[in-house]
Amino acid sequence: MREELVAALSQYPILTLFLVIGLGYLVGETSILGFRFGVAGVLFVGLAVGALDPRVALPEVVPTLGLIIFVYAVGIHSASALRQALRRQGWRDNALAGGVLVFGALLAAGVAQWLSLPGTRAAGLYCGALTNTPALAAVREQVRERGLARGESAEQAQLQAEEAVVAYSLAYPVGVLGVLLCFHLLRRIWKPEFQPAEDAPEIQVRNFVVRNPGVVGRTLGDVMRVHKDVGFVVSRIRHEGRTDIAASGTRLAEGDIVVVVGDAEALERAEQIFGEPSDAHIEEDRRELDYRRVFVSSKQVVGKRIRDLDLPNRLHATITRVRRGDVDLVPAPDTRLELGDQVRVLTRKENFPAVREFFGDSIRGTAETDFGSVALGMVLGVLVGTMPIPLPGGQTVKLGLAGGPLLVALVLGHWERTGGICWLIPVSANLTLRRIGLLLFLAGVGTRAGYQFGQTVGTSGAALVLGGAVITFGVTLATMIIGYRVLKIPYDAVMGLVSGIQTQPACLAYATEQTRSETPNVAYAAVYPAATVLKIVLAQVLAAWPGTS
């Protein structure tokens, strides 16, 4: 029976791929003491299937393709969150993350000396204890290339590379469960207080009569330039009984009525700027001016700032709200539109066909993406990943097929568009690409390392698990003690930082569920990209370091 199964799986790799993914999902969704491994179940099933026979291993192109797709999608999605986080306290958070990751690399080197491990297994332990698959992929690639450069056969070089996967697989479970245990125990010891989650401010509409002598006679654009970041939008203005779209060139006169859209705090600022509130509700008169919600799906609009669209002059229209995901936002002139945004556009009724054509207004368009730009970005990422980076002592490292695409994606996601090329990927398409890439990678590396994994578990498996636990608990406890006790970072934010340093969504899900807050998500996004890139570099240093070889 076993021989027939091995023969079928080795003859039809596509059957092996979908069998591993399907069973892996079932295993990942199985609750063990209230915890689920999620997508990591695909890795463990891949190891079990690969342990049957080395011929079952999936072709190398499967994990390689999956890795590039996964890290590129993560980078494009994380660029905006990283940019926003760095404007606040992101530099402090990333400095902490960098310090503890270097500390973790030193722990891994010490464990390697203690257990007499080669550098490849030390790097695999580091990647598994900190649950980072892109770093593991970079190590595999580096070790394989190094073996081929020494004159080893392709089979020998591949066996050396899979040693990292074996160590990674043994350390990975503790890398997840150990972090959750630290979260639970330190919370009971320190007894932190969590701030209750705040609902997003409600967006309201209010009318004001222009009474402030400081704005009378000035254009609306001049007023808004003086008062920056006001947090509201002026949608309509009534002058001498006639209501029209409020544009930057509209000149304010005493007694005009302006319609302001914003939250309660922004409306208080509007009252100070314009004058007294009005009992009028001119926004309720929709005989001439009306609004529609339209989807942003046109490539000509995506990635552009609202001010650059010049809607008042182009379409005699203005955007009063942007719905991104499940949240309504008050747009600012510098707000850049993304694929999938829903914008509420105020204009004359006869302009609606032109508005829909301008923005695209296609649900299908919000789920599709320009695979030409995606492929071009991945090509640039692969090229950057193959460039050697010199280190002291004559060593060189490469960002590899994990770090290169990730770094390029972060840059392109920050730019959003270059000329006529839009680098952004719609959220729904991004999530789908990311999951497909991760599944391909985990299934591929699992089956390719499974046979060697089965042989190692019975010999030095316990020692490798212990070594991985030392790294996991060392990094996690150092982060939480320094972050919470020394830097006085709130406990919910510290849990998000640890989850980002681990680059572990399961830990983030636990932190979010415990705190009922978005704080862990913000902290996670702040350090995730930098932590991933740094772990890719440090893991390769460990793999090549003479002291661990």
- The pair of structure tokens assigned to 155 is 């089979």
In angstroms, the CA 482 to CA 144 distance is 38
Candidate from 8-17, 363-372, 400-409 with smallest mean pLDDT: 363-372
Residue with tokens 């390029």: 408
Using a pLDDT cut of 90, give the percent of the chain over it: 35
Is 268 within a domain? yes
Mean pLDDT over 292-298 rounds to 90
Is 233 within a domain? yes
Is 68 within a domain? no
Helices (H) and strands (E) in the chain, counts: 21, 12
- Residue 248's domain comprises 204-366
**Predicted TM-score (pTM) above 0.75:** no
Is 540 within a domain? no
Mean pLDDT over 119-146 rounds to 86
- Cβ contact 306:314 at 8 Å: no
pLDDT tens digits, 204-223: 999 999 999 999 999 998 99
Looking at residue 34, its pLDDT comes to 61
pLDDT tens digits, 229-286: 788 999 999 998 899 999 889 999 999 999 999 998 999 999 999 999 998 888 888 8
Amino acid at 374: V
Alpha helices (H) in 288-342, listed in sequence order? 306-309, 311-314
Domain count, the chain: 1
Residue 398 has pLDDT above 80, yes or no: no
175, with CB counted inside 10 A (0-12, 13-18, 19+), is buried
Candidate from 118-127, 214-223, 230-239, 296-305 with smallest mean pLDDT: 296-305
pLDDT tens digits, 22-35: 999 898 888 766 65
In angstroms, the CA 397 to CA 399 distance is 7
Is 513 within a domain? no
How many CB atoms neighbour CB 32 within 10 A? Answer: 10
Mean pLDDT of the chain: 85
CATH number of 350's domain: 3.30.70.1450
In angstroms, the CA 212 to CA 255 distance is 10
Is 288 within a domain? yes
pLDDT grade, residue 140 (50/70/90)?
confident
Spell out the residues 6+ positions from residue 17 whose beta carbon is closer than 8 angstroms to its own: 58, 62, 440, 443
Phi, psi of 206, rounded to the nearest 5 degrees: -145, 150
HEC string for 380-443: HHHHHHCCEEECHHHCEEECHHHHHHHHHHHHHHHHCEECCEECCCCHHHHHHHHHHHHHHHHH
Is 252 within a domain? yes
**Alpha carbon separation from 509 to 179, 484, 519 (Å, rounded):** 12, 20, 12
CA-closest candidate to residue 405, choices 413, 396, 415, 416: 413
Is 307 within a domain? yes
CA-closest candidate to residue 207, choices 280, 269, 265: 280
